[in-house]
Amino acid sequence: MDKRDYANGWAKDPRTRYYIDPRKIVWATEGANAGVERAEALLEGRDGQATLAGEGGCVLRSAGGESAGLLLDFGTELHGGIQLCVWFEKSRKKTVRMRVRFGESAMEAMNELGGERNAGNDHAVRDQIVEACSFLGMTEIGNSGFRFVRIDLLEQECEVELKSVRAVCLLRDIEYKGRFRCSDPLLERIWQTGAYTVHLNMQEYLWDGIKRDRLVWIGDMHPEVAALGAVFGHNEVVPKSLDLIRDNTPLPGWMNSIPSYSVWWILIHRDWYWVHKDMAYLRGQRTYLLELLAMLAAGIGDDGRFDDPKPFLDWPTSSNDAGVRAGVHALLVSAMAAGAELCGALEEAEAAERCRAAERKLRRHVPDHGNSKQAAALMALAGLLDPEAANRDVLAIDGPRNISTFLGYYVLKARGEAGDILGSLDCIREYWGGMLKLGATTFWEDFDIDWMDNAARIDELTPPGKTDVHGQYGQYCYKGYRHSLCHGWAAGPTAWLSEYVLGIRIKEAGGALIEVKPRLGDLDWAEGSLPTPYGTVSVRHDRRSDGTVDSKIDAPPGVVVLRG
């Protein structure tokens, strides 16, 4: 019998295992009774196979009530755990007790659970005591998002010799089809960091975060799907995640218990259809989609206001009630337009007209954005505000302050529609580039530009007089170390740079017609590619001495290119 009987409970993991060696020893015990010897041996790239002849390994020695420990830096954010290979315990104990702490920052891995810095085990156990094999054995520990790992030998009067400690990273083995290069290396790095942030969150489903929020939050998926499409093109993790949340939310329920998140589900479906034009998949959404659109339309009053029992936009906007309601209203306007388009594709003419009627009714009400950049951006994108006026009066004020890593993507889009490419590029450099200056290798759940004042980097132990940016800041549900430093919703600049700087836009559902309209801002040149169902479109743009742009475009057969 073939044991790979997928119909009988077997299923292949869509992810691949990678082994990563530590890059640096950040800290090691130097006690009177406990200590670490030859820690640098863990940086030599040894494998995880125990051998009878073991020598020259890293030695942990605990005695006199003191425990030996060390902190490893693997150089980049990872998803998975570690593989610990022990040659021997000196007295030949078969197992020893060890404490393993994972951290997205060096300080998180060094801290205790709870307390005012709020380290925790929510969604993934990142601080645990394990019984590790200590006699020619290998132990695998953990499943979380991390870059740093602290290991402590808790067993007293004990000495172990480690052959290796390797990270075991789980992620999908997929090609980076999209790319972005330009005359500014920082923008290149930001594009790549956003791509990697989304890649790590493409687990069995498309998660929000790999340490905390290992869930399908459907609203948070929208900027993730935009970045994913710019880098990887089609991937089954998107429809799989859309269907998971649909099947777990029978109507009249709201996805993730939030009405606006059901609205985001419609918008993601429209965008997915626009790029891929997968009619078989869209037809599979027909019943739920039509019922959801009807339920939303029924909640719109004659004055054009939607009766939202739980208005939510994003956490940083939560205290601005006018901003929240204006942003949600704009989302619903866009969703009704998207619904009409999807119903038209499904040849549901009556439903399409109901969506258009609902959109017209919603447009009777133009809410006050409450000076919220997030709300003003969404209103501009929905056609409720003029983009140039929104940019002048709200979005461009005070640079990158008062935006969020989630909805900052839509602020960039609205500023792009207003023609403010230079202002958008400066915002990306300062805001997303600010995280990189603090040592980030992926983008964070939230960020405030003011956090950079006197802040220590996340890849070092906070020096006296400096601020631990991970433990000190954060609010709402992400205070202190609970704050995720790898959140897919923060990858918006990756999609934005491909769309607005490279200027590649799909102009017809399915990608047979594209427009290339580069907008370089202050860049001398930019080049890159965008995956489409027909293949990859590649472009190169160079600024001439007279300020005009020379563009070279390579499109696959079947694709018609409009030059903007």
Secondary structure tally for the chain: helices H, strands E? 15, 16
Report DSSP letters for 441-504, one per residue.
Answer: SS--S---GGGGTTBPPTTSPPPTTSB-HHHH---TT--GGGS-S-BGGG-HHHHHIIIIIS-E
Q: What is the mean pLDDT of residues 26-55?
A: 92
In words, the CATH class of domain 179-445+484-501 is mainly alpha
Residues 189-242 have pLDDT tens digits of 999 999 999 999 999 999 999 999 999 999 999 999 999 999 999 999 999 999
Domain spans of the chain, in order of start: 11-171, 179-445+484-501, 513-563
Short-list 77, 191, 33, CA closest to 484: 77
pLDDT at 519 over 60: yes
Looking at residue 4, its pLDDT comes to: 60
Q: Which residues contact 41 (CB under 8 A, 6 or more apart)?
A: 56, 57, 58, 162
Name the DSSP class of 405: T
Angle in degrees, CA 393, 394, 396, rounded to 5 = 95
Instruction: Provide the percentage of residues in the chain whose pLDDT is more than 90.
Output: 94
pLDDT band per the 50, 70, 90 thresholds, residue 31: confident
Bridge partners (DSSP) of residue 306 are 300
What's the pLDDT at 6?
A: 64
Please give the residue that has the higher pLDDT: either 7 or 241: 241
Would you tell me how many other CB atoms lie within 10 Å of the CB of residue 556? 13
**1: confidence class by pLDDT, cuts 50, 70, 90:** very low
Percent above pLDDT 70 for the chain: 99
Residues 6+ apart with CB under 8 A from 250: none
pLDDT in tens, 373-395: 999 999 999 999 999 999 999 99
CATH architecture designation of domain 11-171: Sandwich (2.60)
Of residues 153, 129, 162, 163, the one with CA closest to residue 63 = 153
pLDDT bin (cut points 50, 70, 90) of residue 420 is very high
Nearest to 155 by CA among 203, 223, 94: 94
Question: Which band of pLDDT confidence, cut at 50, 70 and 90, is reported for residue 85?
Answer: very high
Looking at residue 442, its pLDDT comes to 98
232, 178 contact by CB (below 8 A) = yes
Instruction: Grade residue 7 by pLDDT with cuts at 50, 70 and 90.
Output: low
Residue 360 has pLDDT above 70, yes or no: yes
For the segment 480-500, the average pLDDT, to the nearest whole number, is 97
The per-residue pLDDT for range 246-274, each reduced to its tens digit, is 999 999 999 999 999 999 999 999 999 99
Residue identified by tokens 């903007």 is 564
Chain-wide mean pLDDT for the chain? 96
Q: Is the pLDDT of residue 55 over 90?
A: no
For residues 26 and 108, the answer to whether their CB atoms sit within 8 Å is no
**Sole residue written with tokens 């461009």:** 396
Whether pLDDT at 3 is above 60: no
